[in-house]
Amino acid sequence: MDQQRKQIIIKEIKFWKENRMLPEQYCDYLLSIYTEGELRDNSLVFGYHKLWALLGVLPLLMIPFVTYLLYFTELSLNLQILIFLSVFLFLGINAVLLTSKQLIWRHITYLVIAIIFLELIVEGVGSFINLSAMVMGSILFVNCTLWIVIGFLKKLTYFIYSGVSLIILSIAYILYIM
């Protein structure tokens, strides 16, 4: 096979791999056949995967950041709202990007959004009314019900399990307090 024809086929296989028209293993196999086992430049691909991994792990840093802002700073309410909106905007964009690529890291972003949302709801309600055990249990119950609904709608079993387990724990906590 002439070299020009090989290059066209290799380019097509790379296109299929990038656009997920064929499974990655098939494309790697075809590429190894048509490049005759030659090593291709993986530095660009490795850097690409490191960027997506960084985007996947970065939301984990948002939990301590939001907790620090809520409990250990004396920022004005307007500044806190602005910072929290930017955090949610970042997490939303991150979730959309990772979901569009169907990367496993998207689940970390989903969990971080749920945890930060719970934290902000508890703090927000707590700033307006006194958080008794009953109010806290109600907030947890509503939030966990939301997690269960999202778990069923998106077929995310870890949301269902965490929602059910937190509902059980909140009911046990309310019964223990009473």
Check residue 46 and give its pLDDT: 46
pLDDT(161) > 90: yes
- Go through 67-91 and write b for each residue having 16 or more CB atoms within 10 A of its CB, e for each that does not: eeebeeeeeeeeebeeebeebbeeb
What does each C-alpha distance from 178 to 14, 131, 134 come to in angstroms? 64, 15, 9
C-beta separation of 137 from 171 below 8 A: yes
Q: pLDDT at residue 97 above 50?
A: yes
Task: Please check the confidence at residue 127 and state whether its pLDDT lies above 50.
Answer: yes
Q: State the average pLDDT over residues 158-176.
A: 88
Neighbour count for residue 163 (Cβ, 10 Å): 23
> Residue 55 and residue 158: Cα distance in Å, rounded?
21
Residues 6+ apart with CB under 8 A from 156: 107, 110, 150
Task: Please indicate whether residue 136 or residue 158 has the higher confidence score (pLDDT).
Answer: 158
Chain-centre distance for alpha carbon 114: 9
CA–CA gap between residue 51 and residue 103 (Å, rounded): 12
Question: Which pLDDT value is given to residue 134?
Answer: 76
15 phi and psi angles, rounded to 5 deg: -65, -45
The 10s digit of each residue's pLDDT in 14-69 is 888 888 888 888 888 888 888 876 645 554 444 557 777 777 788 888 888 888 88
> What pTM, to 2 d.p., does this model score?
0.65
